[in-house]
Amino acid sequence: MRKKIVAGNWKMHKNAAQTEELLNELIAKIPAETDAQVIVAPTFVNLASAVNQLKSTAIGVSAQNMHQAESGAYTGEISADMLTSVGVKTVILGHSERRAIFHETDALIASKVDTALQHDMTVIFCFGEELKDRQSQNHFNIVENQLKDGLFHLQAKDWEKIVLAYEPVWAIGTGETASPEQAQEMHEFIRETVRKAFGSDVAEDVSILYGGSVKPDNAKEIFSKPDVDGGLIGGAALKAEDFVAIVTAI
């Protein structure tokens, strides 16, 4: 079933004490009656303690990345088994910063998706066009190709574990946000693309989050669009007050 989701990507922010403090604030401030699934993605070293701290709450914990191999000589990397062994059942894959700074390709991301699914993890799959693609009117093609190359090798049943996060790169961390109409237009296109390949049940059930400078003052309008099922939040996830306001907006 399609879910409303608000996920906070903390990136390389918050040490152990700051993580504990922010989580305590979220525990105290997120209204119990919210119908959104709330997820936080602290850094690797704070995942185990976050899972522990949140264990009697409805707030989920996600990793921000993982390696595609089961184990091996990959210095500095983290496997799916390591994540699930500390209770992390969700992972963000394909974030634009991973694609741009760490040169992750669609093929690599597809293999990470496969590994995550083999471990019964939920994948928040990020994709979205760059500014030059939108300026050259190529944004629909780029988005369709990222989607196809990353996910279209899956079976229909695998989609129960997939959450899509459309994040136009030009809107990430820039203060620029897609207008609610631009977000809806692309989300509708994404759902239609999924429908053509996997059928209506998969397309109607998959949650499509919008990410890119979502803030308390624009969240409500973006979330009001019929194909926007929530948000992946970067900067505004680092302040309890802002993140809670965004959760409440849904």
Tokens of 166: 């459309």
The question of whether 130 is a catalytic residue gets the answer: no
Helix axes 106-118, 139-151, angle to 10 degrees: 40
E strands in 23-161:
37-41, 60-63, 90-93, 122-127
> Active-site residue 95, yes or no?
yes
Distance CA 83, CA 44 (A): 9
Note whether 230 binds ligand PEP by CB under 6 A: no
Instruction: Please report which helix (H) or strand (E) contains residue 230, including its range.
Output: strand 230-233
Return the number of the residue (151 or 231) whose C-beta is nearest ligand PEP: 231
233 binds ligand PEP (CB under 6 A): yes
| Identity of residue 71 | S
Q: Is 113 in the site for ligand PEP (CB under 6 A)?
A: no
Amino acid of residue 70: E
Q: Name the active-site residue from 97, 104, 129, 167.
A: 167
Reduced to 3 states (helix: H, G, I; strand: E, B; else coil), residue 123 is: strand
For the chain, what is the radius of gyration of the CA atoms?
17
**Total of chain residues touching ligand PEP, rule CB under 6 A:** 13
Work out which of 108, 212, 222, 242 binds ligand PEP, going by CB under 6 A.
212
- Of the candidates 146, 207, 213, 218, which one interacts with ligand PEP according to CB under 6 A? 213
> What's the min distance (Å) between Cβ of 104 and ligand PEP?
14
Q: How far is the CB of 174 from ligand PEP (least distance, A)?
A: 7
Site for ligand PEP in 159-178 (CB under 6 A): 167, 172-173
Chosen residue from 142, 232, 246, 250 binding ligand PEP by CB under 6 A: 232
Rounded distance, CA 173 to CA 244, Å? 19
Return the active site residues. 95, 167
Per CB under 6 A, residues contacting ligand PEP are: 9, 167, 172-173, 211-214, 232-236
